[in-house]
Structure 1
Amino acid sequence: MSTGPTLAELLADTVTTAPSSVAVIDGGSDPIRVTRAELSSRVLAMRDDLRSHGVEEGSCVGVWLPNWSEALVLQFAAAALGAHVIGINTRYGVADVAHVLDRARPKVVAIAHEFLGLDLRSRLHAAVAEVDAPVPELAVVTGPTRAPAAPDVAATYDVGAGAWIPSRPASTAADLEVLYGGSDALAVAFTTSGSTGRPKLAAHLGSAVARHARNVAVAGGWDASSVSLVVLPLSGVFGFVPAITAIAAGGAALLEPTFDDDLVVRHMAEFGVTHLASADDVAGRLMDSVRARGGNLSSWRRMLIGDFYGKSIKVAEWAEEETDTPTLGIYGSSELFALTSFWREHDAAPARWRGGGRPVSEDIEVRVVDPVTGGPPPDGEPGELQFRGYNVVDAYLGDDDGAIRARSFTEDGWFRSGDLGTVRPDGGFDYAGRMGDSIRLRGFLVEAAEIEIRLAEHPTVARTKVVGVTVDGDTRAIAFVEPVAGATPDPDELRAWCAAALAKFKVPDTVHVIEQMPTTVGTNGSKIKAAALRELAQQLLAGPQEVTR
Structure 2
Amino acid sequence: MRGASSYAEACARHVWRVPAEYNIALDACDQWADGAGRRALVWDGADGAGETWSFDDLKRASDRLAGGLASLGLGRGDRVALMLPQTPEHAIAHVAVFKLGAVSVPLSRLFGLDALRYRLEDSGARALLTDSDGAGKARAIREALPELRHVVRCDRPARPDDAGALAFADLLARGVDGFTPVRTRAEDPALLIYTSGTSGPPKGALHAHRYLLGYNGVDYANNFFRPGDLYWSPADWAWVGGLLVGLLCPLAHGVPVLASAARFDPAGALELMARFGVTNTLLSATALRKMAVQVGDPRRDRLRLRAILSGGERVTPEIARWVEERLGLRINEVYGQTEANILVGENEPLIPPRREPLGRPYPGHEVAIVDDGGRRLAPGEVGVIAVRRGDPVIMLGYWNRPDATAAAYRGEWFLTGDLGAEDPDGWIHYKGRADDVINSAGFRIGPAEVEGCLLEHPAVEQCAVVGVPDPTKGEAVRAFVLLAPGHAGSPALADELGAHVKARLGAFQRPRDVEWVDELPMTVSGKIRRAELRQRSLTTTPARDEPAASPGAWGRRLSDAIRAALETGDLTGARRLALEGDGQAKSLGTEYTLMVRGLGITLRVLLRLLGELPPREALPALLRRFRSDLAAVATRAFTAPEAHAAVDDLRRLAANTAATKAAAELALTVQLVDGAEALFLAEQARLARDVLQALDAGDAARARALVDEKERAQYVPLHDRLIRFMAEVFGWVLERLGPDGLLRFHRAAAEGQRAGFEKWERMGPAEFARASAFLLKQHMGHVEVREDDEKFTIEQAPCGSGGRLRLAGAYAGPAALPVVEARGPLTAGEASLPVYCSHCPVWNGLAPLEWFGRPHWVFDRPSRPDGSCTLHIYKRRAGAPAAYAAALGVAGGSH
Q: Please confirm whether the aligned pair reaches a TM-score higher than 0.5, indicating the same fold.
A: yes
* 2:587 paired residue number: 484
Matches within 5 A, 1:50-89: 50-89=69-108
Q: Distance in 2 between matches of 1:311 and 1:317?
A: 10
In structure 1, runs of 5+ residues without a counterpart are 114-118, 439-454, 517-534
Per-residue CA deviation, residues 432-474 of structure 1 (Å, 9 max, x unaligned), is 2212479xxxxxxxxxxxxxxxx99xxxx877669999889x9
Q: Helix, strand or coil for the counterpart of 1:291?
A: coil
Q: Which amino acid aligns with 1:320?
A: E
Q: Which amino acid in structure 1 is aligned with residue 107 of structure 2? A: I
Match of 2:768 among 481, 488, 507: 507
Matches within 5 A, 1:396-407: 396-399=398-401, 402-407=402-407
Partner in structure 2 of residue 385 of structure 1? 385
Deviation per CA, 1:481-519: give whole Å up to 9, x if none.
Answer: 976365324379999645522455663163314999xxx
Equivalent positions of 1:511-530 (< 5 A) are 511-513=773-775
1:96-495 paired onto structure 2 within 5 Å: 96-113=115-132, 119-129=133-143, 131=144, 133-143=146-156, 146=157, 148-150=158-160, 153-155=161-163, 158=164, 163-167=166-170, 175=178, 178-179=180-181, 181-184=183-186, 185-209=188-212, 211-214=213-216, 216-218=218-220, 220=222, 221-242=224-245, 243-257=247-261, 258-288=263-293, 290-291=295-296, 294=299, 296-306=301-311, 308=313, 312-337=316-341, 339-345=342-348, 352-354=354-356, 356-362=358-364, 364-371=365-372, 373-377=373-377, 380-388=380-388, 389-399=391-401, 402-410=402-410, 412-436=411-435, 484=587, 486-487=589-590, 488-490=592-594
Partner deviation per Cα, 1:136-171 (whole Å, 9 max, x = no partner) = 31111113xx2x333xx232xx3xxx644444768x
Distance 2:292 2:170 in 1: 40
Structure 2 CA distance for partners of 1:132 and 1:542, relative to 1, 3 Å: farther
Aligned equivalents of 2:295 and 2:413: distance in 1? 43
- SS of the residue corresponding to residue 40 of structure 1 reads helix
Distance 1:263 1:507 in 2: 36
Structure 1 537/241 Cα, relative in aligned 2: closer, same or farther at 3 Å?
A: farther
Q: 2:281 and 2:230 mapped to 1: Cα distance?
A: 9
State which structure, 1 or 2, has the greater radius of gyration over its C-alpha atoms.
2
What TM-score results when the alignment is normalised by the length of structure 2? 0.48
Amino acid paired to 2:333: G
Matched residues in 1 for 2:474 and 2:23: separation? 42
Matches of 2:423 and 2:85, distance apart in 1: 39
- 1:45-73 per-residue CA deviation (whole Å, 9 max, x = no partner) reads 11001111111110110001111121111
Letter in 1 for 2:368: R
Secondary structure of 2:773's partner?
strand
Which of 134-143 and 256-265 deviates more? 256-265
Larger relative contact order (C-alpha < 8 A, sep ≥ 6)? Answer: 1
> Is the CA contact (8 Å cut-off) linking 1:304 and 1:342 kept in structure 2?
no
Q: Is the 8 A contact 1:46 1:167 kept in 2?
A: no
The letter of the residue matching 1:134 is E
- Aligned 8 A contact 1:387 1:415 in 2: yes
Aligned counterpart, 1:37: 56
How far off is 1:476 after superposition?
A: 11
- The change in CA–CA distance for 1:22 and 1:505 in structure 2 (over 3 A counts) is closer
Q: 1:223/1:486 Cα in 2 relative to 1: closer, same or farther (>3 Å)?
A: same
Q: CA deviation at 1:235?
A: 0.7
Query: What is the one-letter code of the residue matched to 2:65?
Result: M
One-letter amino acid of the structure 2 residue matched with residue 217 of structure 1: D
For 2:795 and 2:218, how far apart are their aligned partners in 1? 49
List per-residue Cα deviations over 1:10-35 (Å, max 9, x = no partner).
03454245741111122243232211
**Change in 2 beyond 3 A, CA 1:545/1:329:** farther
Q: Distance in 2 between matches of 1:379 and 1:359?
A: 15
Instruction: State the SS of the aligned residue for 2:296.
Output: helix
Work out whether residues 24 and 33 of structure 1, in 8 Å CA contact, stay in contact via their aligned partners in 2. Answer: yes
TM, length-normalised to structure 1: 0.76
What's 2:522 paired with?
none
Distance in 1 between the 2:385 and 2:72 partners? 43
- Amino acid paired to 2:190: A
- The structure in which a higher percent of residues are strand is 1
Find the aligned partners of 1:348 and 1:73 in 2 and give their Cα distance.
Answer: 35
**What is the SS of the residue equivalent to 1:415?**
strand
8 A contact 2:300–2:326 mirrored in 1: no
Residues 166-216 of structure 1: CA deviation (Å, up to 9, x unaligned)? 44768x99538x34844442111222133443211112111222x134552
Following the alignment from structure 2 to structure 1, what is the Cα–Cα distance between the partners of residues 356 and 130?
Answer: 37
Q: In structure 2, which of residues 28, 31, 36 is the aligned counterpart of residue 11 of structure 1?
A: 28
Report the Cα offset of residue 261 of structure 1. 3.2
Q: Against the structure 1 CA distance between its residues 108 and 395, is the aligned structure 2 distance closer, same or farther, given a 3 Å change threshold?
A: same
Query: For 1:154, what is the secondary structure of its paired residue?
Result: coil
CA distance in structure 1 between the aligned counterparts of 2:112 and 2:23, rounded to whole angstroms: 33
Higher helix share: 2
Q: Decide whether aligned partners of structure 1 residues 206 and 348 sit closer, same or farther in structure 2, where only a CA change above 3 A counts.
A: closer
**d(CA) in 2 for partners of 1:463 and 1:100?**
25
Residue type at the aligned position of 1:501: R
Cα contact 1:139–1:166 (8 A) shared by 2: no
User: 1:425 and 1:283, CA in 2 relative to 1: closer, same or farther beyond 3 A?
Assistant: same
Q: Find the aligned partners of 1:347 and 1:367 in 2 and give their Cα distance.
A: 20
Q: In structure 2, do the counterparts of structure 1 residues 408 and 436 end up closer, same or farther at CA, with 3 Å as the change threshold? A: closer
- Report how far residue 241 of structure 1 moved: 1.6
How far apart are the structure 1 equivalents of 2:764 and 2:387?
31
Q: d(CA) in 2 for partners of 1:471 and 1:16?
A: 56
Q: Distance in 2 between matches of 1:270 and 1:330?
A: 27
Where in structure 2 are there 5+ consecutive unaligned residues?
1-17, 438-468, 479-528, 541-547, 550-583, 599-752, 787-792, 800-839, 843-870, 872-895
Change (3 A) 1:203 1:465: closer
| Contact kept? 1:64, 1:89, Cα under 8 Å | yes
Give the Cα–Cα distance (whole angstroms) in 1 for the partners of residues 397 and 418 of structure 2. 20
**Alpha carbons 2:131, 2:155 under 8 Å: kept:** yes
Q: 1:10 to 1:215 in 2, by over 3 A?
A: farther
Amino acid at match of 1:123: K
Distance 1:218 1:386, change over 3 A: closer
Preserved CA contact (<8 Å) 2:153 2:167: yes
Cα deviation, residue 319, structure 1: 1.4
Q: Is the 8 A contact 2:105 2:193 kept in 1?
A: yes
Q: What is the percent sequence identity of the aligned residues?
A: 18
